[in-house]
Chains A and B, each alone.
Chain A
């Protein structure tokens, strides 16, 4: 393995873990979303995010000689590299839309960065993911438009404020600043300042990850090596 290999698969795992865990959270709306359309939308978005996670795990596994399913399901919760934003369990519609929009905006910055990678497999995969994510962003933008027209704005603003320190923890350095600029440009009435605390940044985990992990890995742990 070359000297730069660990860092490039680390970044890949961070993105894969974000997509897997958020995909799981999105799927929690299946059957109980406020409308049938949103039930279908969040289920479909969840399916896409988990598909992206799978492709990213496969690429990471090829790099490190491991197995994609093992990367997805056989690590301890503390070993996941997902950011705390995606772990939050918030079955409240305004919170879900706030997190959805903030994550998709940050994720777009990250994917653009990946398309410029000098690792051709990653750049090619990122271009494919980018096309699919375009529909997630349209969906998130549509909801932000819908909730900023009138008195709903106060509720969305409150939800955005609650999620904001966590959203700042998705990216760091120049990518974080690019994300901040986009948020400020799209929502001029929102205060996009500040920095994430240690508990919001990647590397920290919320107490909500453990129960998710218990449920997500239950079948695999109960029947090791099962294929279906």
Chain B
């Protein structure tokens, strides 16, 4: 029988298409799972609206539900209920191990250039905070590029959203 618990466990095994070290549950994009008989309704919120992985995530979540014998209904919720603060502690640790600096917590206001340009972000390789902003934008919408002046290694910084 399909239960919400089994669905959550299955979704915890679905990797993010762009950063496969973290799962969709680690990322916190699954907002709700509701089970009614065989019917499984999943509400999920994309990270960035232009994220090309959105459709892939949807398909993979539907497949995970079908593998449990459920009938999936994956709903995309387009509001601000997801933020990078929803990335789990485990997810952050996995990101760091894979060489991505996890996002800073959301401050009270919008991100400011002076704050991003400060030495406030730790290098995921050597742990130094002697790093600087190279580019606000990176290989995907959710990442910026920083450079570590201590170990002389560029790294990807998850944007705070």
Contacts and interface: CB of A to CB of B under 8 A. Distances in A.
B19 interface: no
Contacts of A129: 49
Question: A interface, by DSSP: helix, strand, loop or mixed?
Answer: helix
Interface in A139-156: 139, 141-142
Given A47-B50, A135-B111, A128 B137 contact: no
Given A51-B51, A52-B49, A138-B113, A131 B136 contact: no
B72 to A, nearest CB: 20
A50 B134 CA distance: 25
B134 to A, nearest CB: 7
* Interface core residue of A37, A52, A135 (most chain B CB under 10 Å): A135
B110 interface: yes
Nearest to B79: A124
Given A44-B141, A138-B113, A128 B79 contact: yes
Nearest to B52: A47
Nearest to A51: B50
A132 B137 contact: no
A125 B79 contact: yes
Contacts of A121: 78-79
Contact of A132 (B48, B78, B79): B48
Interface string B99-127: 00000000000111100100000000000
Interface in A9-64: 37, 40-41, 43-45, 47-52, 54-55, 58-59
Contacts of B48: 48, 51, 132
Contacts of B110: 131, 134
B18 interface: no
Contacts of A142: 113, 136
Given A51-B49, A131-B161, A134-B111, A41 B80 contact: no
A127 interface: yes
Question: B interface, by DSSP: helix, strand, loop or mixed?
Answer: loop
B49 to A, nearest CB: 4
Please classify how large the interface on chain B is, using the bins under 10, 10 to 19, 20 to 34, 35 or more.
20 to 34
A128 B80 contact: yes
Interface string A96-123: 0000000000000000000000000100
A121 B79 CA distance: 7
Contacts of A47: 50, 52, 141
B132 interface: no
Nearest to A133: B110
Nearest to B116: A138
A132 B49 contact: yes
25 contacts: A40-B135, A40-B138, A40-B139, A40-B145, A44-B137, A44-B140, A45-B137, A48-B49, A51-B48, A51-B141, A52-B50, A54-B49, A54-B50, A58-B78, A121-B78, A124-B79, A124-B80, A125-B78, A127-B79, A131-B80, A132-B161, A135-B136, A138-B116, A139-B137, A142-B136
Given A44-B140, A135-B159, 4 more contacts: A43-B137, A47-B141, A55-B78, A135-B137
Return the 9 tightest CB-CB contacts between A and B, nearest first. A51-B50, A124-B79, A51-B49, A127-B80, A44-B137, A41-B137, A128-B80, A47-B50, A134-B110
